[in-house]
């Protein structure tokens, strides 16, 4: 079948012409005649999402994941990594067991695995997390969590005692390690990256501030081409000038939503793990004003990054291939002849018109 688009983003370039899909695979780019409008891009990959459409992954049932997938497909997401903030062990185990019970569906976004954002974080940079639940890295606790369900990424503070050894343990188990909620110096951050950590979680937020003589984890991450820095482009977490500096740095840039259950829902009070979050005017905050995730969607993040000065291929890369690489999933986030047809069709103003997973149209619903 033909998608009926005028162009596509392929390997970082805009290719004029239509896209052909057969048996769930991409079979051709640049086909003539081209469609009258629209652009086909790889499906978006969100590697940090705490909840969506009224569902908080800390308390989600297996059935809830189906509802979330349907809602996320409408925003162009074809794969995502549900995320848990710092919580007591019993809560994390229950959430992992629930995820382990989810039956994969061919007609829904793919679930990469769970992102554990904690508990081995810094109380000095707690953000919206409960500092009383934060712990020094503990291999025995880590093994219990890994046994409970599919963990794919862990965010930790590399300056905590035992962090480097835990990074090596996780990398040896094929689990990606990101640094965040951290008061690490640049030297401590570099040590973590050299030990196998590959990313910085929501750059500049809940971490040691950048200083010209003390660049901290943000400066260390931005200076390395082998590190992915994830960013929340919602108009609250980062200034536009900061975004422009990030885009000029050597680091790979990945868009995340850090969305909570309020995403796609009206203003009100919602849960983020064991935190109560108040949402108003697009901002999600604790009662003391601390930012607590977001209500951002991936399609909006792409539009916001383009508005901040990124060209379209770079913005698409940040929503697709970059987060997929960060999650260790090189099968996601790219379009190529012979690749799975995980595709989003965007209108000329970059709103989502269609989402396909493995060639099956999951948005709009049939």
Whether the CB-CB separation of 183 and 153 falls below 8 Å is answered with no
- Could you give the angle at which helices 62-73 and 89-100 cross, rounded to 10 degrees? 70
For residue 247, what are the CA distances in angstroms to 232, 315, 336, 352? 13, 10, 25, 24
What is the reported pLDDT for 104? Answer: 84
Q: Catalytic annotation on 106?
A: no
Whether the CB-CB separation of 26 and 362 falls below 8 Å is answered with no
What is the reported pLDDT for 231? Answer: 98
Angle at 290 between CA 289 and CA 295, to 5 degrees: 100
Determine how many CB atoms are found less than 10 A away from the CB of residue 198.
23
Select which of 258, 288, 299, 342 is catalytic: 258
Beta bridge partners of 55: 52
Beta bridge partners of 357: 360
The alpha carbon of 332 is separated from its chain's Cα centroid by a whole number of angstroms, namely 13
Phi, psi of 143 (to 5 degrees): -65, -35
Of 248, 285, 227, 296, which Cα lies nearest the Cα of 51?
A: 296
Residue 346 Rama label (left phi>0; alpha psi -120 to 50; beta) = beta
- Give the full edge-to-edge strand order of the sheet including 268-272: 268-272, 275-280, 283-285
What is the reported pLDDT for 250? Answer: 96
What is the reported pLDDT for 54? Answer: 97
For residue 113, what are the CA distances in angstroms to 34, 153, 191, 258, 285? 37, 8, 26, 15, 26
Determine how many CB atoms are found less than 10 A away from the CB of residue 338.
7
pLDDT in tens, the chain (366 residues): 999 999 999 888 999 999 999 999 999 989 999 999 999 999 999 999 999 999 999 999 999 999 999 999 999 999 999 999 999 999 999 999 999 999 988 779 999 999 999 999 999 999 999 999 999 999 999 999 999 999 999 999 999 999 999 999 999 999 999 999 999 999 999 999 999 999 999 999 999 999 999 999 999 999 999 999 999 999 999 999 999 999 999 999 999 999 999 999 999 999 999 999 999 999 999 999 999 999 999 999 999 999 999 999 999 999 999 999 999 999 999 999 999 999 999 999 999 999 999 999 999 976
- Decide: residue 361, CB within 10 A, 0-12 exposed, 13-18 middle, 19+ buried: middle
Helix or strand run (H / E) with residue 269? strand 268-272
What is the reported pLDDT for 262? Answer: 98
For residue 133, what are the CA distances in angstroms to 69, 89, 123, 232? 30, 9, 9, 24
* Sign of the torsion angle spanned by Cα atoms 269, 272, 274, 277: negative
What is the reported pLDDT for 107? Answer: 78
**Is cis: bond before 315, omega within 30 of 0?**
no
What is the reported pLDDT for 106? Answer: 75
């Amino acid at each position: 079948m033909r998608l009926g688009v005028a162009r596509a983003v392929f390997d970082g370039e805009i290719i004029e012409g239509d896209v052909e899909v057969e048996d769930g695979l991409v079979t051709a780019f640049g086909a003539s005649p081209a469609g009258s409008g629209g652009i086909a891009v790889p499906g978006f990959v969100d590697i940090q999402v705490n909840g969506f459409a009224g569902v908080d992954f800390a308390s989600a049932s297996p059935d809830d994941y189906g509802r979330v997938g349907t809602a996320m497909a409408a925003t162009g997401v074809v794969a995502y990594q549900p995320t848990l903030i710092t919580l007591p062990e019993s809560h994390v185990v229950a959430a992992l067991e629930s995820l382990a019970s989810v039956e994969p569906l061919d007609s829904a976004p793919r679930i990469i695995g769970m992102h554990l954002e904690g508990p081995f974080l810094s109380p000095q940079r707690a953000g919206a997390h409960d500092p009383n639940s934060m712990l020094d890295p503990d291999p025995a606790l880590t093994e219990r969590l890994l046994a409970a369900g599919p963990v794919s990424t862990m965010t930790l503070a590399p300056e905590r005692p035992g962090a480097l050894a835990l990074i090596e343990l996780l990398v040896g188990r094929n689990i990606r390690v990101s640094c965040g909620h951290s008061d690490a110096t640049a030297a401590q951050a570099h040590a973590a990256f050299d030990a196998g950590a590959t990313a910085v979680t929501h750059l500049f937020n809940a971490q040691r501030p950048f200083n010209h003589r003390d660049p901290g984890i943000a400066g260390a991450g931005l200076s390395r081409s082998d590190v992915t820095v994830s960013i929340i482009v919602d108009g609250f977490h980062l200034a536009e000038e900061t975004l422009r500096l990030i885009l000029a740095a050597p680091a790979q840039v990945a868009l995340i939503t850090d969305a909570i259950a309020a995403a796609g829902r009206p203003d009100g009070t919602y849960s983020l793990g064991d935190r109560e979050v108040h949402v108003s005017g697009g901002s999600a905050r604790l009662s003391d004003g601390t930012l607590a995730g977001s209500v951002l969607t991936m399609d909006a993040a792409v539009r916001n990054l383009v508005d901040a000065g990124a060209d379209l291929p770079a913005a698409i890369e940040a929503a697709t291939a970059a987060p997929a690489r960060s999650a260790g999933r090189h099968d996601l986030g790219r379009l190529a002849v012979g690749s799975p047809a995980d595709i989003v069709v965007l209108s000329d103003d970059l709103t989502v018109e269609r989402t396909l997973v493995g060639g099956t149209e999951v948005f709009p619903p049939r």
